[in-house]
Chains A and B, each alone.
Chain A
Amino acid sequence: DAGITQSPRHKVTETGTPVTLRCHQTENHRYMYWYRQDPGHGLRLIHYSYGVKDTDKGEVSDGYSVSRSKTEDFLLTLESATSSQTSVYFCAISEDEETGELFFGEGSRLTVL
């Protein structure tokens, strides 16, 4: 199994508070992704990274920011959480953007009250 861990796995917070989710990998893969998964929707890309300090927006990036200061860590921050950001968040890694499969973390379930 790919070495990828997410923390926290579960979090309940209140509207307006900042939240940071962490993704840590031990595979030295270049590409890292943050997705959210909601009922009735496919996985939706929030942000991704193609190297240290190299990040780009996905289709649902509003209200989210990311940082990657080391190859192994990719942080997702909700500056001011809203109820619409209640979701399950998955981090994924891949070695090769063109043909590589994604390896997913276990997911972080976030509830914003």
Chain B
Amino acid sequence: GQNIDQPTEMTATEGAIVQINCTYQTSGFNGLFWYQQHAGEAPTFLSYNVLDGLEEKGRFSSFLSRSKGYSYLLLKELQMKDSASYLCAVRDSNYQLIWGAGTKLIIKP
């Protein structure tokens, strides 16, 4: 079967750095996405990785290792507005997106 694993919840301090991990087992691989979802709102796109390595976009970076079936999202200089759920999704060989259950990130002052 296909599976995406990510921690259910994480807590971090304002101004700090947090890393949210995602591991996957899917039928094929055609890219990995990270989305942010604030409570009661729609998911919004954060990043896309299809090749191994690090993609940096401002305070957010995303890393991919295809051989290990592993990705992480790194958030720097945390702000209170970063409190949200972070969703990892993998596009399989049929170009269907398989979604993790999401990681709820709580930021404390």
Contact = CB atoms under 8 A, between A and B. Distances in A.
Interface string B75-109: 00000000000010100000111111110000000
A8 B44 CA distance: 21
Contacts of B31: 99
Interface string B34-59: 01000001111100101000000000
Contact of A41 (B50, B95, B101): B101
Contacts, number: 44
Contacts of B95: 97-98
A98 B87 contact: no
A107 B96 contact: no
B48 A101 contact: yes
23 contacts: A41-B101, A42-B87, A42-B89, A42-B98, A42-B99, A42-B100, A42-B101, A43-B87, A43-B97, A43-B99, A44-B99, A45-B96, A45-B97, A58-B96, A90-B42, A90-B43, A97-B95, A101-B33, A102-B43, A103-B45, A104-B43, A105-B42, A106-B41
